[in-house]
Structure 1
């Protein structure tokens, strides 16, 4: 007879970004990060800021993925034993909306571990407590139903969260506009591209503040054959 598999698998030693790599994204808006990755990288729009995340600036940290599954919280609970200060814990519940993925007490434990934030593709509960804890969090809304902790669950590996495959060791940048994932293998390339994005944004912002009223030069586009007047 086959033995029952373990209900919990934990990967403790995954590649982590360096402190310098994380620092390169501090204070950077999520829109800039997406532009540096060819306009992509954001999690689904349904994952929105709640509590302190609605007023805080950009938050950045190393992703630690808790693959819970629908209506489960075992992986999130176990992840609290391996996280490091400054990490961002991601709870994957496969987008399940029928139960809470986290409440204020576990969020409080995350704050006690000096995490930078929490992200889930499910709802949370205990909004008053969430606001009191003050740890930035992103979720799909509110639902007071309780999750289970029966497993199976995996910590420290990867999972699909909000339409993106996120691996532990990726960098997360999150603000009031949403949550962006920088894959570990693309961190340095994104940092390099970010400098060009910042320069372009600064130049365009100066034009707008200087009175610019239009983005396109339509007359030039017509002259080049890229556009045509139809009336």
Structure 2
């Protein structure tokens, strides 16, 4: 007879980014990070800021993934025993919208553990309490229905959240524009590309502030045969 499997799988030994790698993304807007990864890396636009995240600047931290599954919260609860100060806890509920993925009390426990932010592909509840806790969070909306804590669930591994595979040990950068995942294996190359992005953005910003109004000289493009007037 097949034995009942454990209701929780917990991976503690995932590779973590260094403090210097985390610091390289401190204060960097999500748009810059996406540009450094060839224009990609953001979670689905349905995952939006709530509470303190609507007014705070960019946050950055190490991803700790709690793969709960639909209508579940067991893995998120267990992750509270695994997170370290500065981590960002991500709850995967496989996009399920029928119950909340987290409320203000668990969010408060995350803050007590030094967690930097919370991200989920499901709704949250207790919006007044979320605002009072003051921990930046990103979710798909609000739903007061209660989740279950029966499992199964997994902590410290990987899950698909908002259309992106997120693994524990990746770097997360989040701001009012969205949430971006930097895979652990691509951290250093993204940091290197980010320097060029910052320089290009600064140069372009200077042009705009200097009065620039257009991208192209259309007359020159017509003369070169790259464009044609049709009127």
* Misfit runs of 4+, over 4 Å: none
Q: Deviations over 1:43-82 (max 9, x none)?
A: 0000000000000000000000000000000000000001
- For 1:142, the equivalent position in structure 2 comes to 142
Is 1:98 matched up with 2:125? no
Equivalent in the alignment of 1:129: 129
Q: Give SS of 1:165's match.
A: strand
Q: Distance between the aligned counterparts of 1:187 and 1:60, measured in 2?
A: 13
Aligned to 1:154: 154
Aligned counterpart, 2:79: 79
Map Cα deviations across residues 156-179 of structure 1 (whole Å, 9 max, x no partner): 000000000000000000000000
For 1:125 and 1:165, locate their aligned partners in 2 and report how far apart those are by CA, in whole Å. 25
Q: Find the aligned partners of 1:219 and 1:36 in 2 and give their Cα distance.
A: 32
Give deviations 1:178-212, integer Å, cap 9, x for gaps.
Answer: 00000000000000000000000000000000000
Tell me how far 1:217 sits from its aligned partner.
2.3
Which runs of 5 or more structure 2 residues have no equivalent in the other structure? none
C-alpha root-mean-square deviation of aligned residues, in Å?
0.7
Q: Distance in 2 between matches of 1:151 and 1:220?
A: 64
Query: 1:230 deviation in Å?
Result: 1.5
Q: What is the deviation of 1:23?
A: 0.1
- Does the alignment pair 1:15 with 2:26? no
User: 3-state DSSP class of the match of 1:195?
Assistant: helix
Q: Counterpart of 2:46 in 1: which secondary structure? A: coil
Partner of 1:218: 218
Deviation at 1:227, TM superposition (A): 1.9
SS at match of 1:213: coil
* TM-score of the aligned structures, taking structure 1 as reference length: 0.99
Which residue does 1:66 correspond to in 2?
66
The CA deviation at 1:216 is: 1.9
Determine the structure 2 residue equivalent to 1:169. Answer: 169
Instruction: Give me the TM-score of the superposition, normalised by structure 2.
Output: 0.99
Query: Secondary structure, in 3 states, of the residue corresponding to 2:21?
Result: helix
Structure 2 Cα separation of the partners of residues 33 and 224 of structure 1: 35
Match status 1:29 vs 2:29: yes
What is the deviation of 1:223? 3.0
The answer to whether structure 1 residue 51 and structure 2 residue 45 are counterparts is: no
Deviation at 1:219, TM superposition (A): 2.4
